[in-house]
Structure formats: C-alpha cells, structure tokens
Amino acid sequence: MRYLPLTDTDRTAMLEAVGAPSIDALFADVPSDLYLNGPVEGLPLHATEMAVEKHMRRLSKKNLAAADAPFFIGAGAYRHHVPASVDHLIQRGEFLTAYTPYQPEIAQGTLQMLFEFQSQVARLYGCAVANASMYDGSTACWEAVAMASRVTRKKRVVLSGALHPHYAEVVRTMAKFTEDEIAGSAPSLTALPDDDGLITRIDDNTASVVVQYPDILGRIPDLQKIADAAHAKGAKLIVVNTEPVALGALEAPGNLGADIVVGEGQALGVGLQFGGPYLGLFAITDPKLVRQMPGRLCGETVDADGKRGFVLTLSTREQHIRREKATSNICTNSGLCALAFSIHMTLLGAKGITGLAAENHRLACIAADRLAKVPGVTVLNENFFNEFTLMLDVDARQIVRDLADKGVLGGVGLGKLFPDIDGLKGGLLVTVTETASLEDIETLATTLEEVLP
C-alpha cells in the first residue's frame, strides 16, 4: 500500500522486538468474538491512485461547477475570484500539515499568520480584538449570542427577521439546550429593513440583538440606530456579516456601535466548496471583554533571547484547561481557511478590497437595473451592496429550477430559506460579484424573461 512504509520484513522484525507473534495478537484486548479477522465485509479493497482519481472525477462531473454557468447565487456563500497564489501558498506542506501551534518555537509561521489575520479582521470589522477564527459564520453567530448572555447575565435574544434563517436556526437549536429565550420574527418585505420594528422588540431583559449587515434580502440596516436602542436597554448589539467584501464599501460595524461582530469569511480566499470548510470571524469592540471570548487567540510575546514571537494565549478560557467551565467547547479553529483569507486580504490591501467592493457594487447596480426591466419583475431593495431581492408573481423556487434547466444558476428562492412563510415565496435573491460578466447578466435577464409565465 503506497501510504504504508512498513515492509513485511520490517513487520516481522518489529513483532519480534515486541514479543508478539502477529499484529492480530496485539489486539488481544478486543473480545475475540468481536474482533474482525479480515477486511470489513461489503467494502471494496485498496485501489490505485489512478482508479480513485477516475472515480472521484466522475463524481465531480455530476456537479455543475459555477464557472460553467452564469452564476448569481449568494445567500451566505459568495463566489469571488481567488488569486492562484493563495492556493499555492496554503499547499505549502509546512502550513498544510502542521498541527495546532501548541509548540510555538516551531510554529511561528502559523502563529504570526494568525496574529496578522486577527489584526486584519479587527480592522475590517472596526473592532479592537478578533479571534483566530471559528468553524463558520453560523456557529460564530451562536457563540456571540452565548457570549452576550454570559456578559450581560441575561437570557433573551432578539433576532432580526432578516437574519440568515440558517443562522437563526442554529441559534434556536443551541438555545434549546442552554435555555436562552429566542425572540425571532419573519422578515418584512419592505424596501428598507424594518429597524424600528426590531428596536421595539428590545426590552430590559434583552441580552443581545442580532442584526445581519447587509441582511438576507440584501438590504442595509441602520446599525447605529439599533446600537443606540440596544445599549439604552443594556443589551449588546451583535452584527452578523456574511459577505466581507461588502465591508470594503460599507462602514465597519464596529464603528457603528456594534459590540460583537461575527461573520462568514469564506468569500475571501476559501471558495464555495458546497458549504464547507468555511471560516467564522469573531471580533469585539471592547477589549476588556476579551476573557469572555470564545475560540483561540494568538498574542505577541518574546522568547528567551528577547526576540519577538507569537503564542496562543489566554487559553485558560478553553476546554482543555477549564474542562466543563470553558467558555465554549470549541477546540478547533479553521486555521487553513484563515490562512487563505489572510493571504487574499494581503493581496488586496486597502486599495484592493475597496476596488473589489466597488466592482461588485457596480455590476450589481447594472444587474438590478437590467432585471427591473424584465416584465413581471420588481426590485425590492432601496439599498444593497452586491445582493438584492426580486419580487416575482410566482414561486421563485420553480423559476430557479427552470433557470437551472437552461444552464443559468439564477439565485435563491426565498421559499427555500423561509419555507414557512407563504408571503416570501415570490422573492428571488440575486447576487452579483465580480465573477459575473455583462453577458452573464444579459443571459440571466433574457432567460428569466423566457421562464417567467
């Protein structure tokens, strides 16, 4: 077997040294009636690299890759062009095959990268401190809710109706076990988000208010106004961002009163990957709360010779030290995705992220204007970044399927996201990034015209 360096000669010599007659004999502690004397039945035996590659290629070809179709899907996962150098660098064996940097003397590569990553996220979010990443945006969102409840010692969580429903569902699932009280609502089909409606739901028992920015319909809420209202009631404002590129153009949440900013980092460096692995971002504006943060943190220090170096720090918050008293049970970050994000962000810099955001917005404006001209289509949004909602007279889910049959990946029907709310069925969420060409936009418009009844 190509991955196993021991030869039969080696095995014989080692068994002799160990004093065992066979490898099977080393498993003597397994009850003999349960021990398997040969390969598990019903499964194939080992295969050549060529055969496995062929098999996996055959599976991959059963998928329609985004590059092979005009592509307008977003809703929490965004397709951006990832520079080739990102993927090259994350495949360096020293990054790819390293463990969590618990031995900092031989892990400065990962550690310095994480310090840089934390700094980049903090600046993008307008926050004081960011952690070294979490599983994804949805789990980061829940961790933010849990942290706010810990900090405020309150249990009521007000969710904006326009929070990504999968994120809301994760929060609801977890809250069942922690006994937090979740106050959700349905999104209103208005050109601007119903910030006032949200504010009226904040009360003195509220631990946190969770708002998505831009929201699941692509609209941009007035964070400062919501922050002021939340703070007046002693609640924390948690801002969720699923599209970091938007923050190249929009004011940072941390500058608008957010207490905790969390989000999905996938859009930069990581790729779509059918949903994972992704990359949760987590940052706070008040550095005094850092000991209440979940997840790994990398900090600067010096070595015995006085040289600058980096280590994982404040790990007394974590489960391998605190066990049942940990701030979270999380013990993995999304290191390689954080690296990809950080490299992409380094390649962009301030100029690049701003320009990329501008290009996304420019194309989205063109698309919105063009699609508004399709008969039977109205654009809901008054404001948006690179994602907006079309209102159709029919169930948008069927339209999405019809578009796909014609080779166009046209967006997400709101009925898929909010299956319980009949009034949202006509909504079609369309996302336009720099990967869409003007021809793609035109194809979407004309195909939409074809498939609309």
Partner 1 sequence: LEEALIFEIGDADTYGVDLPYTPTDLPGRMGKFTRKGEIGLPGLSEPQTVRHYTRLSRQNYGIDLGFFPLGSCTMKHNPRLNEKVARMPGFLDVHPMQPIDTVQGALGVIDELAHWLITLTGMQSVAMSPKAGAHGELCGILCIRAALEARGDARKVVLVPESAHGTNPATAAFAGYSTEDIPANKDGRVDLDALKARLGPDVAAVMITNPNTCGLFERDMKAISDAVHEAGGLVYCDGANFNAIMGRVRPGDLGIDAMHINLHKTFSTPHGGGGPGSGPVVLSEALAPFAPLPFVEKAKDGSLRLIEEENMEEHHASTFGRMTAFNGQMGMFTRALTYILSHGADGLRQAAGDAVLNANYILRQLEDVLHAPFGASGPCMHEALFGDAGFAEGFSTLDLAKGLIDEGFHPMTMYFPLVVHGAMLIEPTETESKAGIDQFIMAMRSLAQRAKDGDEALLTAPHHAPRARLDEAHAARKPRLAWSEPEG
Q: How far is the CB of 203 from partner 1 (least distance, A)?
A: 25
155-163, 203-211, 231-239, 243-251 -> range binding partner 1 (CB under 8 A) = 243-251
Written as six digits, the tokens of 386 are: 């690179």
Of 388-417, binders to partner 1 (CB under 8 A) are 400-401, 404, 409, 412, 415-416
> For partner 1, which is the closer residue by CB, 17 or 153?
17
Site for a copy of itself, rule CB under 8 A: 2, 48-50, 53, 57, 67, 81, 83-84, 88, 91-93, 347, 434-435
Residue 347 sits in the site that holds partner 1 (CB under 8 A):
yes
Q: What angle do CA 373, 386, 379 make, to 5 degrees?
A: 30
> For a copy of itself, which is the closer residue by CB, 36 or 350?
350
Residue 423 sits in the site that holds partner 1 (CB under 8 A):
no
**Centroid of chain to Cα 192:** 25
Q: How far apart are CA 221 and CA 215, in angstroms?
A: 7
Of 275-304, binders to partner 1 (CB under 8 A) are 275-279, 287, 290, 296-304
The pattern of x and - marking residues 374 through 393 that bind partner 1 according to CB under 8 A reads -------xxxxx--------
DSSP state of 76: T
The pattern of x and - marking residues 169 through 208 that bind partner 1 according to CB under 8 A reads xx-xxx-xxxx-----------------------------
The helix-helix angle for 335-372 and 108-125 (nearest 10°) equals 30
Q: How far is the CB of 160 from partner 1 (least distance, A)?
A: 16
- Label residues 36-57 b or e (16+ Cβ within 10 Å = b): eeeeeeeeeeeeeeeeeeeeee
> For a copy of itself, which is the closer residue by CB, 190 or 435?
435
Written as six digits, the tokens of 257 are: 């009163």
Residue 286's Cβ-count burial label (10 Å; 0-12, 13-18, 19+) is middle
Residue 397's Cβ-count burial label (10 Å; 0-12, 13-18, 19+) is middle
Residue 426 sits in the site that holds partner 1 (CB under 8 A):
no
> For a copy of itself, which is the closer residue by CB, 45 or 67?
67
Count of Cβ atoms closer than 10 Å to residue 19 Cβ:
7
> For a copy of itself, which is the closer residue by CB, 2 or 325?
2
Of 110-129, binders to partner 1 (CB under 8 A) are 110, 112-113, 115-116, 118-120, 122-124, 128-129
Look at residues 384, 389, 349, 370 and name the one whose alpha carbon lies nearest to residue 442: 370
Written as six digits, the tokens of 398 are: 């069927």
